Amino acid sequence: MNHFELREGELACEGVPLSRIAEAVGTPVYVYSTATLERHYTVLRDALLAAGLKDPLIAFAVKANSNVAVLRTLADLGAGADVVSEGEIRRALAAGVPPERIVFSGVGKTEAEIAFAVETGVAEINVESEPELHLVNRVAQGLGRRAVVAIRVNPDVSAGGHAKIATGKAENKFGVSFSEAERLYANAANMAGVRPAGVACHIGSQITDLAPMEAAFAKMRGLVERLKREGLPVERLDLGGGLGVPYFNQPEPPSPADYAAMIGRVMAGLDVQLAFEPGRVIAANAGVLLARVNHIHERPEGRRFLVLDAAMNDLLRPAMYDAYHDIRPVRPRVGEAAPYDVVGPVCETGDTFTRDRDLPPFEPGDLVAFMSAGAYGAAMASEYNSRPLVPEVLVKGDRFAVVRPRPTYEDMLAREQAPPWQ
Ligand code: LLP
């Protein structure tokens, strides 16, 4: 459930009509709902508690939505943060996430990033390979510290979904095999600069079938049990993120309750803290991208283009993954639906949000909302075609605030400088 609904004939975010935001901030603009973020977090947390988990660590995947105001909304409810760069650690800290609730993942952490994470005192560094384990050991020793690490396992399962976001197959770059993990864990226990505290996995994103997750999690449980039998202490098992969300015409994802119940079943009686790294399931349906129709261009060949002021640089998912986002008029007009190609102003054909989609009638100047855009939307935006970075607005009840302003053209140019010979 989300808080984007028609109120008096117009799409509103909680108590704020979207047209008010468009007038105040201009378009394109991302709009997030506080109530929806809070609801998604608490539904997931309550489902995990109801499934019998004790004190789960729910580390929001910052990559899905890295706006500090969004992170603070979740941190205020007790959320941790799953981060993949020093920039994301800094964002999480700026949002008030305590270091002991920060999990640092990623296949290519630099020495400087590892040092920063160790000095920050993050909950765990998820180590993705043997060279990385040695690097963390060396860096932490250099700082006179012992870094808490988890070994990331690649469980070699196929989770469905788009190939570009599958992470759990042996051919993907993430993590090590189960046998490698056992060996590395035992080695790590004898290293002066690291303390192995757990194991981690993440098999993909927008997963709509619980079966591959269950298979992977059962294997992870087996690994924890083997490690414990070898006398190696294991405190935490990190099960990653990946739970899908409804993108309207897409396969229905499992509910958080079903997901949690499955985990409760698979992990029953296992004495470890469970950690989670959900991104999309919390943020996707808590945000929309609001845009305006520039014009409607009808080609003699019969195609009808809805040309918007938002483009692939603002919302990359359709161009990158052929992703489907529901497209809704903010003030629906009465009339027959007709097929449209919805495009942006960027100079490439990939700048197409959808083709041949039946949509209600539009007129130039109308506002449209891309639904389910709160995850991997603004976070993946760029300034391609020198379009200023898309702003972000957070709504709470009948109030709204700009939480990332649109840069001016002066701001954009001021970031660059001339070489001495010009
Ligand atoms: N943990 C790790 C280690 C991850 O790599 C990811 C996502 C997550 C957690 C969060 O996954 P989620 O719960 O959001 O599915 N840009 C793509 C999605 C990329 C996901 C990358 N990893 C998209 O727009 O669909």
419 located within any domain:
no
The pLDDT assigned to 301 comes to 85
**CB-ligand 1 contact for 241 (6 Å cutoff):** yes
Boundary (domain end) residue, out of 250, 280, 310: 280
**CB-ligand 1 contact for 129 (6 Å cutoff):** no
**CB-ligand 1 contact for 288 (6 Å cutoff):** no
C-alpha 84/C-alpha 233 separation (Å) is: 26
Please check whether residues 258 and 155 belong to one and the same domain: yes
Please check whether residues 337 and 361 belong to one and the same domain: yes
- Ligand 1 mutation pick, 37, 173, 277, max ligand atoms within 8 A of CB: 277
Q: Which of 1, 163, 192, 347 is catalytic?
A: 347
Q: If you average pLDDT over every residue of the chain, what do you get?
A: 96
Percent of the chain predicted with pLDDT > 90: 91
Amino acid present at 185: Y
Provide the 8-state DSSP code for 188.
H
Please check whether residues 316 and 370 belong to one and the same domain: yes
Question: Ligand 1 centroid vs 98 CA: distance in angstroms?
Answer: 22
Please check whether residues 60 and 202 belong to one and the same domain: yes
Boundary (domain end) residue, out of 229, 261, 280: 280
Over residues 188-238, the pLDDT tens digits come to: 999 999 999 999 999 999 999 999 999 999 999 999 999 999 999 999 999
Please check whether residues 116 and 9 belong to one and the same domain: no
Both structure tokens of 340: 């449209």
Q: Is 201 one of the catalytic residues?
A: no
Mean pLDDT value across residues 281-294? 98
Burial (Cβ within 10 Å: 0-12, 13-18, ≥19) of residue 324: middle
Query: What CATH number does the domain containing 160 carry?
Result: 3.20.20.10
* Domain limits for position 348: 4-32+284-414
Nearest CA to ligand 1 atom 6: 241
Question: Ligand 1 centroid vs 35 CA: distance in angstroms?
Answer: 22
Q: How many domains does the chain have?
A: 2
The pLDDT assigned to 97 comes to 98
Over residues 107-154, the pLDDT tens digits come to: 899 999 999 999 999 999 999 999 999 999 999 999 999 999 999 999
Please check whether residues 245 and 329 belong to one and the same domain: no
Boundary (domain end) residue, out of 280, 310, 329: 280
Please check whether residues 50 and 70 belong to one and the same domain: yes
The pLDDT assigned to 171 comes to 74
**CB-ligand 1 contact for 376 (6 Å cutoff):** yes
420 located within any domain:
no
